[in-house]
Amino acid sequence: MGNRLQIIGDDLFTTNTGRIRKGIQQGVANSVLIKLNQIGTVSETIEAIRMTQAAGWNPVVSARSGETEEAFISHLAVATNAGQLKVGSFARSERMVKWNEVLRIEKHLGEKAEFRGGTILR
């Protein structure tokens, strides 16, 4: 099903490269939920994203519950070419800040911006 559906490892991987490596070896998913404040440092988070991408899997940069209005993960998702950002619906201000920042980044990038949309599994 992994060629048609996105199978995202969350608690299984906990943004931990050792756990992601093992999951890749065992072929248990095709995507990893990446939570910046789950692993500890920005460098470790980027390493987890790069490892996921090197395996041909999709990283999904995600906010955590109880987040603030800090928009750094919007930049992280774009800068690493993660392709996906999970922050929830437009219901609360801490979510809107992140979506609005992605829109500002897109506007700034202009023609260089790429929206992958439904092609994420291709």
Can you name the residues that pair with 59 across neighbouring β-strands? 32
Where does the pLDDT of residue 4 fall: very low under 50, low under 70, confident under 90, or very high at 90 and above?
confident
Q: Please state the pTM of the whole predicted model.
A: 0.90
Give the pLDDT score at 99. Answer: 92
Q: What architecture does CATH give domain 8-121?
A: Alpha-Beta Barrel (3.20)
User: Using one digit for the tens of pLDDT, what is the confidence trace for 78-122?
Assistant: 999 999 999 988 888 889 999 999 999 999 999 888 877 777 776
User: Using one digit for the tens of pLDDT, what is the confidence trace for 22-70?
Assistant: 999 999 999 999 999 888 899 999 999 999 999 999 999 999 877 888 8
Domains of the chain by residue range: 8-121
Give the pLDDT score at 122. Answer: 64
Give the pLDDT score at 1. Answer: 73
Give the pLDDT score at 114. Answer: 81
With b for 16 or more beta-carbon neighbours within 10 A and e for fewer, the 10-19 pattern comes to: beebbbbbeb
Place of tokens 């801490």: 94
